[in-house]
């Protein structure tokens, strides 16, 4: 038997063993265990859990979008809604933002602790480990360092990509295998890839992921989830794995599609979209609670299982917002991932929670405990801004080792994942007015001539140019590039940041660049001063006194676009385009007494920061 044939034989045998819940590779497996399987299995059109009929009533909750001190609180709220399972993605880039550092599974990134906490609250767990997750998360959860080569192979059966994925799974999966229901833990199922039918039809890629998961000890039920069309199901599924579907609204059509494709297995909606996400410049998406509850009732009346996407809203803290492309139009996602979920970004039990709970009560026994109260909120206050530090004056302090390159390169090629990136060159003169343009811009560049702001370039305006003149023998040209999230969905997925193309004066290409990486993960070197408040790009600092830490919501009236840190923690981006007005600041980030808020404003500075006691994520527009 050849090595290839032997591996295929073993994989087939392992898949067969897993389908009846037998632990793979275990010499302790007995005949009695095989006859009474543990874990989630399939019998005809129904699920069995440890041999008994089981309907999955699940909700999505992303551990990386909620402060870990609030995990238990949100899980208890899910249980109070009537759910018996929690589903989560695993965001690779959250654990390993840099290639040469080992993945981090401590603190906020301790996904195994999240699973154990779910178990303690009475919830089973579905894990969707990717490696690609979409999720409106930067680069769909893939680490930015995969884009060191801007044309790198992604999400397909290419040795370079597979080596990176295999190394990641070798770190992640061993932390989860002993938490599987087949071994007495809460994890009942895992997903292979994510909505692959919307991206490609490389079944060899899916097979490699399946085989890698099995080889790492995953013996639970595996599934592939896709959009509810025959093409997506065919492209994104494997015949030996359960196929599931994702949709919003009435389930009749989607369920008919799934039953046509897979007539002999349980019907499971792995993403019932009970809300939607927002891009900057849009209105806030909402769905009608009564209609949502009515659609849920139809799903359950059909005998199907359900996973609410989302059950718990969250936050794209830091630089982790994703983006979409509509044609060639770049659409960055807002910081809030409230998603109009039944349990809001800040833990509020919404009208949708109560409507859905009423429906679930007919299909399950609700916990006999009082509903959790709304988390404590900060009292409102206004804070004056009196300290500032121009970013361009702080370049040396923030990046002491500039890189020299003949041509500009994107930030991932320099080992940088997040933050800003700065490019500087000298332009010989004298020159009359020339049009400055940039190709391969990700995503927005502030342009300076001899230290003076002279314009802005944006990837959504590729034909726009900035007038640049050299009056003397030479001038300094600076480009400060601010990314606003890597594309997380679609086939145009390679989305490097900074400059991956050329900088041109009319048709002449500029060379000899000094490049500064500005990850902005440590602002301690920034020296703040008092006096007049300049416009951006400028760091500003304000101090907030807190008697008792509680959830707060920061607003920036009169400001335009920037990034916020609370006591050194990166809360995320704000933008006057809306719809989001306030940034959620969980109670665990505040301190009793003095708290530092640092704002990097790129354009126009306001005169105050507001701490509000309620969120404002925008004027609603019904989504259907």
Q: Which residues contact 482 (CB under 8 A, 6 or more apart)?
A: 420, 443, 444, 445, 446, 602
Contact of 36 with 42, CB cutoff 8 Å: no
- pLDDT digits over 211-266, tens only? 999 999 999 999 999 999 999 999 999 999 999 999 999 999 999 999 999 999 99
Rounded Cα gap, residues 552 and 555, in angstroms: 10
Element (H, E) at 53: strand 52-54
Q: What are phi and psi of 111, to 5 degrees?
A: -65, -30
- How far apart, in Å, do the first and last CA atoms of the chain sit? 55
Rounded Cα gap, residues 401 and 565, in angstroms: 24
The CATH 2.60.120.260 domain(s) of the chain lie at: 381-386+533-622, 394-518
Contact of 268 with 244, CB cutoff 8 Å: yes
For residue 621, what pLDDT is reported? 73
Contact of 528 with 387, CB cutoff 8 Å: yes
- Whose CA is closest to 221, among 246, 195, 245, 191? 191
> How far lies 342's CA from each of 58, 69, 502, 532, in Å?
13, 20, 47, 45
β-pair type (124-128, 85-89): parallel
> Taking the CB of residue 154, how many other CB atoms lie within 10 A of it?
20
Known catalytic residues are 195, 271
Mean of the pLDDT values across residues 413-419?
Answer: 98
Contact of 313 with 349, CB cutoff 8 Å: no
For residue 34, what pLDDT is reported? 47
Q: What are phi and psi of 124, to 5 degrees?
A: -75, 170
Contact of 118 with 86, CB cutoff 8 Å: yes
Q: List 390's β-bridge partners, or say none.
A: 538
For residue 449, what pLDDT is reported? 97
For residue 31, what pLDDT is reported? 39
Helices (H), 24-176: 31-35, 71-81, 92-95, 111-120, 159-172
- Whose CA is closest to 473, among 450, 506, 452, 448? 450
* Residue 579: cis peptide before it, omega within 30 degrees of 0: yes
Element (H, E) at 167: helix 159-172
Q: What are phi and psi of 621, to 5 degrees?
A: -135, 125
Rounded Cα gap, residues 228 and 247, in angstroms: 7
For residue 167, what pLDDT is reported? 98
- pLDDT digits over 427-436, tens only? 999 999 999 9
Confidence of residue 532 (pLDDT cuts 50, 70, 90): confident
Spell out the CATH class of 381-386+533-622.
mainly beta
- Whose CA is closest to 273, among 59, 467, 124? 59
The CATH 3.20.20.80 domain(s) of the chain lie at: 54-317+329-360
- pLDDT digits over 470-510, tens only? 999 999 999 999 999 999 999 989 999 999 999 999 999 99
Q: Which residues contact 396 (CB under 8 A, 6 or more apart)?
A: none
β-pair type (242-247, 268-273): parallel
- pLDDT digits over 361-399, tens only? 999 999 999 999 999 999 999 999 999 999 999 999 999
- pLDDT digits over 141-190, tens only? 999 999 999 899 999 999 999 999 999 999 999 999 999 999 999 999 99
Among 263-272, 324-333, 613-622, the least confident range = 613-622
Superfamily in which the 54-317+329-360 domain is placed by CATH: Glycosidases (3.20.20.80)
Rounded Cα gap, residues 234 and 239, in angstroms: 9
Tokens of 65: 């979008």
Residue 32 has pLDDT above 80, yes or no: no
Tokens of 433: 């007015």
Element (H, E) at 330: strand 329-332
β-pair type (569-575, 608-612): unpaired
Residue ranges with strand state E in 429-525: 431-438, 441-442, 444-449, 452-458, 466-470, 474-482, 498-499, 503-505, 508-509, 513-518
CATH 2.60.120.260 fits 394-518, yes or no: yes
Q: What are phi and psi of 290, to 5 degrees?
A: -65, -40
Residue 9 has pLDDT above 80, yes or no: no
Contact of 498 with 409, CB cutoff 8 Å: yes
Mean of the pLDDT values across residues 315-319?
Answer: 98
Rounded Cα gap, residues 117 and 229, in angstroms: 36
Name residue, tokens 């060191």: 148
> Taking the CB of residue 613, how many other CB atoms lie within 10 A of it?
14
Contact of 178 with 112, CB cutoff 8 Å: no
For residue 171, what pLDDT is reported? 98
> How far lies 129's CA from each of 133, 239, 446, 546, in Å?
7, 20, 37, 39
Confidence of residue 414 (pLDDT cuts 50, 70, 90): very high
- CA angle centred on 344, ends 342 and 346, rounded to 5°: 155
Rounded Cα gap, residues 550 and 346, in angstroms: 11
Confidence of residue 131 (pLDDT cuts 50, 70, 90): very high
Rounded Cα gap, residues 317 and 74, in angstroms: 17
Mean pLDDT taken over the chain? 93
Contact of 433 with 390, CB cutoff 8 Å: no
Rounded Cα gap, residues 304 and 46, in angstroms: 9
Rounded Cα gap, residues 436 and 507, in angstroms: 9
Confidence of residue 360 (pLDDT cuts 50, 70, 90): very high
DSSP code of 275? Answer: S
- CA angle centred on 333, ends 339 and 502, rounded to 5°: 165
Rounded Cα gap, residues 430 and 435, in angstroms: 15
Local structure of 494: helix, strand or coil: coil
434 Cα distance to chain centroid = 40
The DSSP string of 535-552 is PSSEEEEEEEEESS--BE
- Whose CA is closest to 46, among 35, 60, 56, 38? 56
Rounded Cα gap, residues 498 and 536, in angstroms: 19
Rounded Cα gap, residues 443 and 495, in angstroms: 10
Rounded Cα gap, residues 188 and 42, in angstroms: 12
Rounded Cα gap, residues 337 and 559, in angstroms: 22
> HEC profile for 501-520?
CCEEECCEECCCEEEEEECC
């Amino acid at each position: 038997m050849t090595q290839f044939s032997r591996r295929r034989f073993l994989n087939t045998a392992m898949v067969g063993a897993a389908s009846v819940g037998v632990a793979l590779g275990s010499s302790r497996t007995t005949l009695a265990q095989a006859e009474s399987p543990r874990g989630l299995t399939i019998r005809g059109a129904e699920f069995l859990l440890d041999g008994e009929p089981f309907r999955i009533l699940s909700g999505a909750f992303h551990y990386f979008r909620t402060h870990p001190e609030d995990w238990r609180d949100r899980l208890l709220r899910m249980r109070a809604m009537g759910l018996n399972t929690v589903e989560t993605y695993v965001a690779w880039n959250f654990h390993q933002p840099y290639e040469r550092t080992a993945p981090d599974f401590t603190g906020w990134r301790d996904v195994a602790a999240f699973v154990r906490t779910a178990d303690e609250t009475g919830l089973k767990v579905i894990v969707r480990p990717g490696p690609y997750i979409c999720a409106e998360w930067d680069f769909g959860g893939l680490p930015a360092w995969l884009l060191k080569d801007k044309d790198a192979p992604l999400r397909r059966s290419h040795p370079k990509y597979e080596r990176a994925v295999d190394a990641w799974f070798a770190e992640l999966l061993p932390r989860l295998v002993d938490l599987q229901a087949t071994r007495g833990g809460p994890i009942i199922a895992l997903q292979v890839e994510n909505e692959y039918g919307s991206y490609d039809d490389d079944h060899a890629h899916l097979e490699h992921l399946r085989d890698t998961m099995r080889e790492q000890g995953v013996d639970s039920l595996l599934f592939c989830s896709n959009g509810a069309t025959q093409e997506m199901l065919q492209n994104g599924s494997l015949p030996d794995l359960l196929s599931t579907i994702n949709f919003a609204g009435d389930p009749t059509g989607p369920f008919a599609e799934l039953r046509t494709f897979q007539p002999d297995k349980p019907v499971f909606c792995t993403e019932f979209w009970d809300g939607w996400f927002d891009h900057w410049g849009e209105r806030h998406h909402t769905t009608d609670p009564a209609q949502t509850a009515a659609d849920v009732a139809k799903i359950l009346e059909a005998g199907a299982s359900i996973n609410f996407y989302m059950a718990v809203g969250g936050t794209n803290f830091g630089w982790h917002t994703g983006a979409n492309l509509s044609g060639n139009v770049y659409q960055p996602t807002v910081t809030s991932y409230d998603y109009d979920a039944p349990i809001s970004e800040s833990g509020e039990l919404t009208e949708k929670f109560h409507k859905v709970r009423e429906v679930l009560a007919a299909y399950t026994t609700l916990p006999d405990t009082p509903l959790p109260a709304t988390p404590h909120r900060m009292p409102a206050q206004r804070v004056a801004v009196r300290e500032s530090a121009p970013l361009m004056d702080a370049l040396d302090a923030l990046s002491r080792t500039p890189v020299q390159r003949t041509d500009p390169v994107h930030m991932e090629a320099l080992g940088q994942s997040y933050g800003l990136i700065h490019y500087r060159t000298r332009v010989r003169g004298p020159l009359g007015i020339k049009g400055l343009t940039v190709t391969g811009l990700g995503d927005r560049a502030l342009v300076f001539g001899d230290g003076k702001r002279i314009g802005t370039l944006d990837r959504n305006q590729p034909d726009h140019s900035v007038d640049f003149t050299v009056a003397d023998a030479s001038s300094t040209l600076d480009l400060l590039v601010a990314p606003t999230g890597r594309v997380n969905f679609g086939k145009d997925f390679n989305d490097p940041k900074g400059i991956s193309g050329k900088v041109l004066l009319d048709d002449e290409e500029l060379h000899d660049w000094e490049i500064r990486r500005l990850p902005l993960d440590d602002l301690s070197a920034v020296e703040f001063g008092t006096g007049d408040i300049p416009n951006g790009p400028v760091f500003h600092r304000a101090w907030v006194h807190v008697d008792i830490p509680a959830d707060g919501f920061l607003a920036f009236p009169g400001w335009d676009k920037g990034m916020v840190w609370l006591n050194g923690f990166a809360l995320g981006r704000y933008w006057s385009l809306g719809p989001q007005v306030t940034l959620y600041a969980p109670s665990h980030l505040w301190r009793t007494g003095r708290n530092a808020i640092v704002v990097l404003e790129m354009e126009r500075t306001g005169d105050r920061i507001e701490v509000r006691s309620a969120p404002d994520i925008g004027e609603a527009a019904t989504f259907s």
